[in-house]
Structure 1
Amino acid sequence: MISTDEGATMYKKIVYGVITSILALVVVGCAPRAAPTEAPPPEIREMPVEVVEAEKPASAPSGYGAADYADIERLIIRTASLDLVVPDTEAALDEINDLVDELGGYVVESNVYQYQEGMQAHVTLRVPAESLDVALERIRGLATEVRHESISGQDVTEEYVDLQSRLRHLEATEARLLEFLEEAEDTEAALEVYDRLQEIQAEVEQVKGRMQYLEQSAALATISLDITPDELAQPIQVGGWHPEGTLRKAFESLIRVLQFLVDAAIVIVVLVIPVLGVIAAPIIGLFFLVRALIRRRARRVK
């Protein structure tokens, strides 16, 4: 007969062995695959409009054949950037907001800068990916000039498929751990299974969050707009320089200053000095009279 302690020890060894096997399967299933060789960046020609095609994945992910990979719906994150010159910035912003509402998108960011010559704006939009071409065509129609345009796409299909595979492995491991947690009779073994189950569940949530982010990013395209009014887009114009005019104005100013000085001298000589003399004569006479009286009184005292 096998004692109770020996039975518990044997059960614990079996549970440890099963957990070790599951962890080994998780490591193998979730091991990162070799990253595809990145294609060199597309050459951009010197043109007002630059269109960058979405990069093609170098190879199908591990575990998927080329035919299987071709059947997968591709996830492309599309972005566009335009630099526009418009007649009226405020009117253009109103039109863009109406367009975004019509297409079922939203404004991510809007910055408006007010200058003396007009209003400049930078706007970031999100619109459904299938409506990107329509949105760009409508936005171009608002501009008198499109100074720059760039359209690009990022293919995230391979990453998404890789996340799907990883999620399946994690969910399978989670199910096995839940079974062992229900069957566990030893407290220590149950705690170890529970701790590992918590880690697996956290990884599942991370993978699901990343997949949801990729899905939403591919479903909505991003458009960045720089909007400038015609007044600010015009080149700076410097008027002609006429030094003879400046010289003439300087001589005119000099003559006016000399005239002022001569007029001031005439006023001083003809008006100010005589008036001061008339005012000063009685004062000077009174001064000498007072001084004479003081001296006479001083002599009498002696």
Structure 2
Amino acid sequence: MFKKIFNWIKENKVITVVFVVLVFLLLKKFNNYSAYKRVSRVDNAGYNVEESTLVTETPSLVSQYKGERKLVTNSNFSLLVKKVGDAVDNVVKETESTGGFVVSTAISKDEGVDIASIEVRIPRDKLEGFSEYLKSISVRTVYENITGYDITDEYTDYTTRLESLESSKAILEDIMSKAVTADEVLNIQSRIFEIQDQIDALKGQISYMEQASTTSKVSIIMSTDELSLPYTPAKIWRPDVVFKQAIRSLFSLLIAIGTFGIWVVVFSPTLLFIMIIKKTFFKRKDKK
């Protein structure tokens, strides 16, 4: 049997190459899809909660900023709770009591399990206390992570550029007040408008940096089922969950088979054309 297959491959090299390339592209596409679906459950899995760490970027130049350093911090929590609705209400109240505000809230029910996603901004000096509060209202903190980066040098660069532009604008306004002709006034005024646009853009960036550095973004996902959270324990076995995963894998396999069939149908004219050319070529060769 293997000898027959080998001989067929030897006689139909072009068709074999096209078929192998087709299978390779299909498998590559399917693997990418599977990896995308699995990544949220594979990464950072386990019962142990990560220690909160602050990662700071090393500036390329020594900052000349003499005030308090500008740090942007982002926190992520994955919490197991008894009642999602009550937990969301408690988080909103605690956020407002710290002087923060709610950015977004979403509550959904997936396969009978309540899941909530909420994003808030908390004053940076209240972050530690807020983190402890989140742990206190949860049954278990499945995942906790705090990261940050230093924007002091970028902030300093923007403020320096702003001062330079405002100085240039003042000089141009002084020159315009002494202009004689209408053309001179129009030319200087056009330049002032350009500088003003740059000033407004820089002020917007500086305002955003100041807000981002004085408040911390906290993203929280809460659920009544630990396996529904993005970060789940690795060593736990539940037959109902295994059954659901098996059904999903079956559907993925059927989708892959269907996709492969479509590719074969689409490429079949090409394969048929190659076979016709090959037979015609060998017939002419035999006649000679």
Name the structure 1 match of 2:12.
none
CA drift at 1:54: 2.2
Could you tell me which residue of structure 1 aligns to residue 169 of structure 2? 174
Distance in 1 (CA, whole Å) between partners of 2:180 and 2:123 is 54
Residues in 1 aligned to 2:85 and 2:199: alpha-carbon distance in whole angstroms: 47
Q: Identify the residue that residue 113 of structure 2 maps to in structure 1.
A: 118
In the aligned structure 2, how far is the partner of 1:45 from the partner of 1:158?
35
Q: CA RMSD in A?
A: 2.4
Partner SS state of residue 74, structure 2: strand
Identity %: 26
Q: Which residue of 2 aligns with 1:216?
A: 211
Asked whether the 8 Å contact 1:117–1:231 carries over to 2, the reply is no
Shift in Å, 1:45: 11
The Cα of 1:188 is off from its aligned counterpart by 1.4
Partners of 1:135 and 1:91 in 2: CA distance:
17
Structure 1 gap segments, 5+ residues each: 1-43, 239-302
- The one-character-per-residue Cα deviations of 1:23-60 (angstroms, maximum 9, x if unpaired) are xxxxxxxxxxxxxxxxxxxxx99853152422232322
- Note the 1:236-247 alignment, pairs <5 A: 236-237=238-239
CA distances 1:233-274 after superposition (whole Å, capped 9, x unpaired)? 585325xxxxxxxxxxxxxxxxxxxxxxxxxxxxxxxxxxxx
Q: Is residue 2:181 matched to residue 1:186?
A: yes
Aligned length: 189
TM-score normalised to structure 1 length: 0.58
Q: Is the partner of 2:56 in helix, strand or coil?
A: coil
Q: Quote the residue 1:298 is aligned against.
A: none
In structure 2, C-alpha distance between the alignment counterparts of 1:231 and 1:164, rounded to whole Å:
46
Q: Helix, strand or coil: the match of 1:80?
A: strand
Aligned to 1:195: 190
Q: Residue type matched to 1:160 in 2?
A: Y
Map 1:34-113; keep pairs closer than 5 Å: 48-50=49-51, 51-61=53-63, 64=64, 69=65, 71-113=66-108
Give 3-state SS (helix, strand or coil) of 2:239's partner: coil
Structure 2 residue 126 is matched with structure 1 residue 137: no
How far apart are 1:153 and its partner, in Å? 1.0
Distance 1:200 1:118 in 2: 55
Pick the aligned partner of 2:150 from 155, 163, 167.
Answer: 155
Shift of 1:118: 3.4
Could you list the per-position Cα deviations for residues 213-238 of structure 1 after superposition, in whole angstroms to 9, with x for gaps in the alignment? 10011111110011010476585325
Q: Structure 2 stretches of 5 or more lacking a match? A: 1-43, 229-235, 241-288
Aligned mates of 2:70, 2:141 — CA distance in 1: 29
